[in-house]
Structures are given as C-alpha cells and as structure tokens.
Amino acid sequence: MNKSERWFERAQAVIPGGVSSPVRAFRSVGGTPPYVAKALGSRITDVDGKEYVDLVGAWGPAILGHAHPDVIAEVEHVAKNSFSFGAPCPPEVELAEAIVSRVSAVEKVRFTNSGTEAVMTALRIARAKSKRNVIVKFAGCYHGHADSMLVAAGSGVATLGLPDSPGVTEGAAKDTVTLPYGDVAALETVFAERGHEIAAVITEAIPANMGVVPPPPGFNKKISELCKQHGSIFIVDEVMTGFRVSKDGWWGIEGTRENWVPDLFTYGKVIGGGMPLAAVAGNADIMDLLAPAGPVYQAGTLSGNPVATTAGLATLRNCTPDVYMHLDAMADQVFAIVSDALTKHGIVHQPQRAGNMFSFFFTDRPVHNYDDAKTQDTAAFGRFFHAMLDNGVWLPPSAYEAWFVSAAHTDDDLAIIASAADIAARAARQ
C-alpha cells in the first residue's frame, strides 16, 4: 500500500467518501486518488513523490501555474497582518476595482467565498428585482450545489450518475425549469407560456461541467433578448470562464461582439488565485439591492478577506495579454496532440473547445447538450485517464469536465503529454 492509499484509507474513516468534493474520489474512473504534497508551475507532486504535468489547474484558478512567485510574495506579505479581519480591507476594494476595470458591463461587485454562494446571491437578487420566483436553467450546466440548482446539474452529479440530489425538497425544485442546452425553441416556448413567472435565466458562459460545449451562435443573445422582453434577469455564470479565457471573460469574447449584456455575472476560480473567493457583479442599479444599500440580505464573515483578495489581485495583475496568448497557443497544442493520438489509434472521439478550455468526448457525435454528453464511453475514458496518470499527466478524473492549461506550461510539458497520450490512446482501445 502506497502513501496515497494509506491517506485515503484514513480519510474514509473520518470524511464522507474520503473526500471534501465528490469527483475527487475517483468513483467514475476507479482506483485510489493520489494525495497531493505540492504543486509548482505546471507540475503537481503526490505524497509518494511522483510528479505529473497538471492539466486540471485546481479546476481552473491556476491560470499562472501553481505557486506563482508574485502571488506567493504578496500573500505572504498580507498574511503577516492576519488572515482575516471580519472588517473592510483595502485589497477587497482594489480587487473589485480591477474587475470593474476589466469588464465594462460591471459597475459593482459583492464578494462571496464560493461560486455556489455567488449563484445563490444572484438568484436572490433576481427574484427581488423581478418580484417573481421561477428560475430557468439548462440541463448539464452546473451552478453550484444550492438546492434549486441541483435539478439536472452537470459536473459531479453527472460524473457520479446521481439523480437530482436527495435532500432537495419539492418546494425548492418546483420553481426551477430545466431546458435542453442550446434549444431556442424550448426557451421561446417556456417564455410564451410562463414569461410572467420567470425571475431569471441562468447559464454557464461556456458550459464546461458536462465537458466543454461551445454556445451555439446567437444563443446567449437570444436569452438576453427574451429576458429583456419579459422583464426577467439574465445571469451569466463565469465562475470557470471569468478572466481565464480573456481579460474580460467569455462575455468579452462573445457578448461584446454580438452586442448583448447580462444583468448579473457570477465569478470565481481565477479571481481568488486559488484561494476560496467568488463574486456576483453587475450594474449599480441591480447590485444596490444588496444590503446595506438595499433590502436583499447577503453576508459572509470571511467574504473579501485580505489573503484571498490579495491572491486574486496579484493573479489578475499578472494576467497580461502575453499570458492569454500563451494560454491559447498551449491549448492549441495540447488539443491537437491528444486528438491526434486518439485518431491514430482509432478511438472514436469528439474534441471540443471554447477559448482555451477544452475536453474530449468518447463518442461518435458532436456534443451539443447534456443528452449528447451522456452517450460517451466513460469506461474508455477511464482507461485513457489511468494510462495518462500512470505516464505522468494529471487529468480531471471525470469524462464530464474541462481541461485547463496554464501560463507555466512549456514545450517539455508538451513532450510528456504527447508520449503519455500515445500510450493512453492504446489503453483506451483495449
């Protein structure tokens, strides 16, 4: 028994399933999760001393690579004055200013500790603003584990093959309408029938929790138009994409081109630089509904704490145009390397990408929605995953997740990925 196996055995005695987030347990791919000792740059090292090229990046926030020296230096400096004050502090103001300066559609920001909290807050604001209850979401889009958002969710729910989670009441679920992703006709129908009841429509800027599914051209614009027409709130969840795919997120790539603007954004991941931090953001009129400016209550003792906001601010300061160029170029190369290896060994697959986020579906059809995603051969992915891991490449342990590159990835990493992908493609065929 290696050290990771011993740690997992200990964990299962004191932590449900042995993990603090379900996908980490490796249930969908089998085996025991390696326990991590450290991560630096593009590499991650487990407790047994094995090093891997990391294509998970802490599920997105390690955009600069792990333990970037500038981020570490600034965090160490501020941490000496305490991790948290439970009071206002300059870094939270500076980070909010940085977000506002990057996203022209945003005027005010409220920090939370997780993407789940940010989405909960956005939904509460939307219901208060519209004076309605019904939320429209899309199957396979994951917006955290708030009760109403676990109806036909993606990500860990899809990975574990779970139905809508026990513990979610009928009352919580009845005000959530779930539609197939990308289905404009279904969206138009629900607005025609229930537009007067719909408080908000929420969608991932790029669905990436059923694997990466690029939005159909004009789909987000149509959501925006229908929401405006019916007095509903349009919420764009950029917890994954915000400041990862561009300096102003996916909206900066698509929304500015197609001329649509959501009422609210939710952010996370990159804005905390790997620390627990997220935010809801939007124009001043709607954001000022939040207490103490307005009547909508939201609070968090650790929200906007100096360490997390400093890490996020240092990260954003280092996300230069050159960094985004490097991310896109590296995503191009990893995407091509893996797809070529799968093709070479006759593995049916659909490579899909939006910005610098991508994934590979082990299926013979393009994936446009959650039902398409569920047609893939998850057993083949499991074989591919373990062969990649055995040969030094750290992937998401799920066929329903996005892959991430960082500014720290190099040509040496590409060589390791290429070698591993060739072996893993052969393993997937068996």
**Tokens, residue 199:** 């408080």
Predicted confidence at residue 162, as pLDDT, reads: 45
* Selection from 154, 94, 55 nearest residue 404 by Cα: 55
Beta pairing class for 43-46 and 36-40: antiparallel
* Span 193-216, average pLDDT: 96
String of b and e for 117-144 (b: at least 16 CB within 10 Å)? Answer: bbbbbbbbbbbbbbebebbbbbbbbbbb
Q: What is the pTM of this model?
A: 0.94
CA distance 199 to 238: 19
Catalytic residue, from 46, 237, 248, 263: name it. Answer: 237
pLDDT tens track for 346-374: 999 999 999 999 999 999 999 999 999 99
> Could you check whether the bond before residue 351 is cis, i.e. omega within 30 degrees of 0?
no
* CA 364/CA 39 separation, integer angstroms: 36
Reduced to 3 states (helix: H, G, I; strand: E, B; else coil), residue 410 is: coil
142, 181, 370, 400: the active-site residue:
142
Handedness of CA 363, 355, 214, 393 (dihedral sign): positive
* Residue among 108, 129, 137, 269 flagged as catalytic: 269
Cβ(338)–Cβ(360) below 8 Å: yes
Other C-beta atoms closer than 10 Å to the C-beta of 383 total 21
Cα–Cα distances (Å) from 143 to 267, 301, 381, in that order, read 11, 22, 24
Which of 102, 170, 114, 103 is CA-nearest to residue 142? 114
Rounded to 5°, the CA angle 235-241-246 comes to: 115
Distant-in-sequence contacts of 170-175, Cβ < 8 A, 24+ apart:
172/147, 172/148, 173/147, 173/148, 175/133, 175/134, 175/135, 175/148
Region at 86 (left for phi over 0; alpha for psi -120 to 50; beta for the rest): left
Domains of the chain: 3-63+320-429 (3.90.1150.10), 69-318 (3.40.640.10)
Give tens-digit pLDDT for 155-199: 444 444 444 567 777 777 788 999 999 999 999 999 999 999 999
- The pLDDT of residue 164 is 59
Counting residues of the chain whose pLDDT is more than 70, the rounded percentage is 97
Catalytic, 269? Answer yes
Question: For residues 353 and 245, what is the distance between their CA atoms, to the nearest angstrom?
Answer: 11
Strand partners, 150: none
pLDDT at 120 > cutoff 80? yes
328 is catalytic: no
27-84 residue pLDDT tens: 999 999 999 999 999 999 999 999 999 999 999 999 999 999 999 999 999 999 999 9
**Residue 93 near residue 235, CB atoms below 8 Å:** no
